[in-house]
């Protein structure tokens, strides 16, 4: 540790707040209900920007960890974040809050679609949302990248992950298992601060 | 027949839960292979409709699995499919999360964390690109995707506005006879 050489990063200055069970429930309920086109982008918005539960880098690390585990990424992240603030009960509360409301909405939407899905306007709106949802995911990734202020190693491993999966459809597990040791290794090699 | 269907739902999605690395969207081709190809619960068209609804509706994308369960065996099917898909992976995440926190003082974990963040960001952008390529069929759609992405990056307003605008654009283009 050489605290004098570099200013502390925002993650080190961040003091995690106390988050009650009720606040966890309401926060994840909101994430589930507004989570159009997948929950990831909205989870970041609520947890980091709106409620200030976690610092950007911390949230990205939890998300990255949730991503290398099997299963839905945001459910995994909800388990870990819920556990961090309120133990096992918090994990259960976060997951149930995240799933319950959208499940009801989804069933209603499916019933509506059965009735009105053949209408041209409904088809148009659905394809518009599908195309927009892809942009939402891309934009969220770019925003996170900008806020993390990546150094050369981060740019390298993040860029490699992007190209491997987007251009070559590399399997996710293999991508992460290959890039993580490379990044950690490089961080040992490059000792001197920029 | 119903208990058999419920058992098949539990076995299919319970088996997927611990191998679905990369989240729900990454598992969609495998889910389709099982549900359409192996179990013949629906055809490709019906599957595509369920997928579109799960993308357009709020909530985690893994709810596609709940929707399949509901379609195949009603409320019981929905519950069985949802629990089977999410419980094993959640228990693993719980244990792994605690182990991770316990070792977080180790410098190795610190370094790993600083590397995993950027990798996750790269993967998120990549999954958006892959989604765009499966749902975009032309320049207009690609432009719409780029516009929503730019809105998210540069505007502080809720991204819901951009998705709403995309829905309106989809309707308008459809009425003009320009498919997306």
ipTM: 0.75
Q: Rounded distance, CA A84 to CA A82, Å?
A: 5
Q: Collapse the DSSP code of B21 into the 3-class scheme (helix H, G, I; strand E, B; otherwise coil) and give the result.
A: strand
Q: Collapse the DSSP code of B58 into the 3-class scheme (helix H, G, I; strand E, B; otherwise coil) and give the result.
A: strand
Q: Rounded distance, CA A172 to CA A178, Å?
A: 10
B134 has a pLDDT exceeding 70? no
Task: pLDDT band for B110, please (50, 70, 90 cuts).
Answer: confident
Q: A135–B169: do the CB atoms touch at under 8 Å?
A: no
What token pair was written down for A168? Answer: 């070559």
Q: Rounded distance, CA B120 to CA B64, Å?
A: 23
Q: Which residues of chain B neighbour A127 with C-beta distances below 8 Å?
A: 52, 135, 170, 174, 179-180
Q: A138–B132: do the CB atoms touch at under 8 Å?
A: yes
- The predicted-structure confidence for B62-89, as pLDDT tens digits, reads as follows 898 999 999 999 899 999 999 999 999 9
**Burial level of B10, CB count in 10 A (0-12/13-18/19+)?**
middle
B18 has a pLDDT exceeding 60? yes
Q: Rounded distance, CA A125 to CA B56, Å?
A: 9
CA nearest neighbour of B23 among A135, A102, A76: A76
Suggest the residue from B65, B73, B170 to mutate for an interface test with chain A (most A CBs closer than 10 A): B170
Nearest to B152 among A125, A143, A154 (CB): A143
Query: Taking chain A, what is the end-to-end CA distance rounded to the nearest angstrom?
Result: 16
Per-residue pLDDT of chain A (194 residues; tens, 9 = 90+): 444 444 445 545 677 788 999 999 999 999 988 877 667 778 888 999 999 999 988 888 888 788 778 888 889 999 999 999 999 999 999 999 999 888 888 888 888 887 887 888 888 887 888 788 888 888 988 988 888 888 899 999 999 999 998 888 777 777 888 998 999 899 888 765 54
- The predicted-structure confidence for B26-72, as pLDDT tens digits, reads as follows 677 678 888 988 899 998 777 777 777 777 778 887 898 999 999 99
Domain ranges of chain B: 1-102
């Amino acid at each position: 540790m050489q605290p004098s050489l570099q200013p502390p990063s925002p993650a080190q200055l961040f003091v995690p707040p106390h988050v009650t069970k009720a606040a966890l429930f309401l926060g994840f309920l909101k994430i589930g209900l507004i989570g159009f086109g997948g929950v990831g982008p909205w989870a970041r918005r609520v947890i980091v920007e709106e409620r200030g539960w976690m610092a950007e880098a911390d949230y990205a690390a939890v998300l990255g960890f949730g991503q290398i585990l099997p299963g839905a990424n945001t459910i995994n992240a909800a388990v870990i974040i819920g556990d961090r603030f309120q133990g096992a009960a918090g994990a259960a509360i976060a997951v149930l809050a995240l799933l319950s409301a959208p499940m009801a909405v989804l069933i209603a939407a499916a019933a509506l679609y059965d009735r009105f899905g053949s209408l041209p306007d409904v088809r148009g709106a659905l394809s518009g949302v599908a195309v927009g949802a892809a942009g939402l995911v891309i934009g969220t990734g770019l925003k996170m990248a900008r806020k993390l202020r990546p150094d050369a190693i981060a740019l390298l491993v993040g860029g490699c992950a992007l190209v491997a999966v987007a251009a070559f459809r590399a399997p996710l597990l293999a991508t992460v298992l290959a890039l993580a040791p490379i990044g950690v290794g490089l961080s040992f090699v490059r000792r001197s601060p920029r | 027949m119903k208990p058999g269907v419920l058992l098949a739902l539990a076995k299919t999605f319970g088996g997927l839960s611990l191998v679905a690395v990369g989240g729900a969207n990454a598992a969609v081709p495998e889910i389709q292979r099982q549900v359409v190809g192996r179990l013949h619960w629906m055809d490709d068209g019906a599957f595509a409709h369920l997928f579109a609804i799960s993308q357009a509706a709020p909530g985690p994308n893994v709810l596609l699995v709940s929707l399949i369960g509901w379609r195949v065996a009603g409320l019981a099917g929905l519950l069985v499919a949802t629990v089977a898909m999410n419980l094993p992976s959640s228990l693993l995440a719980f244990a792994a999360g605690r182990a991770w926190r316990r070792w977080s003082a180790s410098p190795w974990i610190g370094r790993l964390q600083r590397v995993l963040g950027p990798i996750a960001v790269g993967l998120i952008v990549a999954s958006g690109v892959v989604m765009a390529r499966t749902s975009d069929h032309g320049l207009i759609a690609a432009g719409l995707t780029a516009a929503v992405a730019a809105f998210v990056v540069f505007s502080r307003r809720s991204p819901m506005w951009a998705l709403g605008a995309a829905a309106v654009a989809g309707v308008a283009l459809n009425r003009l006879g320009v498919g997306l």
